[in-house]
């Protein structure tokens, strides 16, 4: 049987200025796994990679109330690669079992960039079977 994920927008496409922090959250209640995909516009210099890509889990939607978790600490568990002139894409595959309800994401660009992010939530207690439950405008299964 096909696994239909629930899609949640963490960050709608937004232009963020140098040093700003943009953030968002997803409600992962009832899901075991999530893939977070962050997309940022291209840059001129490779050193203009994000200053921070911070993932946390918590019982509220406020990014400052959550805790970082093992395996997702920038600089400790992974290194943010240099940016490229085309679109920059960063993906995190997360095992959500045993974590708090909300996933929060904070992104800080080193130069003005357009940033967006989504979470694809998998292995639901109850699989989405319509567009509303899947978090999309259209759900077509063929």
In a domain, 142, yes or no: no
Q: What is the pTM of this model?
A: 0.88
In a domain, 61, yes or no: yes
Mean pLDDT to the nearest integer, 62-76: 80
The answer to the question of residue 108 being in a domain is yes
CA distance 40 to 109: 9
Mean pLDDT over each residue of the chain, to the nearest integer: 89
Residue span of the structural domain in which 45 resides: 6-124
> Quick check: is 129 in a domain?
no
Q: Do the domain assignments include residue 134?
A: no
**DSSP bridge pairs for 9:** 118
Which pLDDT does position 93 carry in this prediction? 94
Residue pair 105/55 in contact (Cβ under 8 Å)? The answer is yes
Neighbours of 58 (CB within 10 A): 18
Query: Residue 78 is part of a domain; what is its CATH number?
Result: 2.60.120.680
Span 55-73, mean pLDDT? 84
Is residue 55 one of the residues assigned to a domain? yes
Q: Write the pLDDT tens digit of every residue in 86-110.
A: 889 999 999 999 999 999 999 999 9
């Amino acid at each position: 049987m096909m696994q239909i994920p629930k899609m949640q927008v963490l960050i709608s496409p937004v232009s963020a200025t140098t040093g700003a922090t943009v953030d968002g959250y997803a409600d992962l209640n009832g899901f075991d796994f999530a893939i977070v995909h962050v997309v940022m516009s291209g840059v001129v210099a490779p050193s203009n990679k994000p200053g921070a890509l911070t993932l946390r889990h918590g019982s509220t939607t406020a990014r400052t109330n959550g805790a970082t978790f093992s395996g997702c600490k920038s600089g400790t568990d992974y290194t943010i690669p240099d940016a490229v002139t085309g679109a920059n894409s960063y993906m995190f595959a997360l095992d959500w079992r045993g974590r708090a309800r909300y996933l929060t994401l904070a992104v800080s660009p080193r130069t003005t960039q357009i940033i967006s992010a989504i979470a694809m939530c998998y292995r639901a207690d109850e699989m989405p079977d319509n567009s509303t439950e899947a978090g999309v405008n259209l759900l077509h299964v063929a």
